[in-house]
Structure 1
Amino acid sequence: MNEIEKNTQPLLHAIGFDRLLHSDPQGVARVRFVPRPEFAHTEGTIVQGGFITAWLDNSMAFAVVSRESGVGLASLELKVSFLERVGVAPVEAEARVLRWGGSVVFLEASLFAQDGRVLARASSTGKLLRPR
């Protein structure tokens, strides 16, 4: 377990966070999530979109922290495109910093099935929250 994982919030574990697979100082993070049956609708076969949105949003926060330790992220805008249904099986989200400003950051993330298919994509504008 690395320093970033040690500081994860309880909410992250409640929504299926499994582990941080990769992070680098360029602002890239790859995160594994394991959905539980209670996250799904349609007779338990499709994960509800709010969980998918939260996974993508949190993976982008990991990308920010990977670039600058101790910085938080407040999402100002978030757009999600659901490309395929997400079943109750492990998924991986990869997020990256597109542009890093003084107080604003632009991010993107993709959610992948175990076979590599892209299930959802997100883009976000966020406010960087630095300790005072």
Structure 2
Amino acid sequence: MTEPKQSAERFPPLLAQAIGFDAVLRLEATPGSSIVRYVARIEHTHSGGRIVQGGFVTAWLDNSMAYAVYARDPETTIASLDLTVSFLERIGQGPIVAQARVLRWGGRVVFLESELYPADAAGGPDTTRGPLTRATSTAMLVRSH
């Protein structure tokens, strides 16, 4: 997949750095999915560095869903209408992998979901114990064409 010129506007490097973005591991156009890795650093935590603050967790989920939309249509971005997060387990420091997907693509609205997993030894998602967090989102499609 080639990246349009506005990719840096869509995924600003300083924002990516601030939230601990590490790498896009996979993008699939159909139906629109992404696997994205983040690194939870000490500055993302509270409770003596043991727990990642929920706002960073939510940012990872939201960002990974934006990448799923990007995979489906690089000329379309989103504006979140709602975002519901279920914090299922504590997340500590280290690599975290998001798996996001488009559930339904409408004319003006898209339905999305994402889950966070610890990274396995190869850096991908370790899905053996289930997700650490799960999010669903409804977003407005914003087309540049």
Structure 2 length-normalised TM? 0.85
Runs of 4+ in 1 over 4 A off after TM superposition: none
* Rounded Cα–Cα distance in structure 2 between residues aligned with 1:40 and 1:103: 36
* Rounded Cα–Cα distance in structure 2 between residues aligned with 1:35 and 1:69: 27
Structure 1 length-normalised TM? 0.93
* Deviation of 1:11 (Å): 0.9
SS of corresponding position for 1:90: strand
What is the percentage of aligned positions where both structures have the same residue?
54
Corresponding residue for 1:15?
Answer: 19
One-letter amino acid matched to 2:3? E
Q: In the alignment, is residue 126 of structure 1 matched against residue 131 of structure 2?
A: no
Question: What stretches of structure 1 of length at least 5 have no aligned partner?
Answer: none
RMSD in angstroms over aligned alpha carbons?
1.4
Corresponding residue for 2:52?
Answer: 47
* Rounded Cα–Cα distance in structure 1 between residues aligned with 2:119 and 2:69: 24
* Deviation of 1:3 (Å): 2.5
- The within-5 A match list for 1:1-132 is 3=3, 7=8, 8-9=11-12, 10-26=14-30, 27-115=32-120, 116=126, 117=129, 118-131=131-144
Aligned residues: 130
Question: What stretches of structure 2 of length at least 5 have no aligned partner?
Answer: 121-125
* Rounded Cα–Cα distance in structure 2 between residues aligned with 1:33 and 1:98: 23
* Deviation of 1:70 (Å): 1.7
* Rounded Cα–Cα distance in structure 2 between residues aligned with 1:78 and 1:122: 7
* Rounded Cα–Cα distance in structure 2 between residues aligned with 1:92 and 1:84: 14
SS of corresponding position for 1:61: helix
SS of corresponding position for 1:62: helix
* Deviation of 1:85 (Å): 0.3
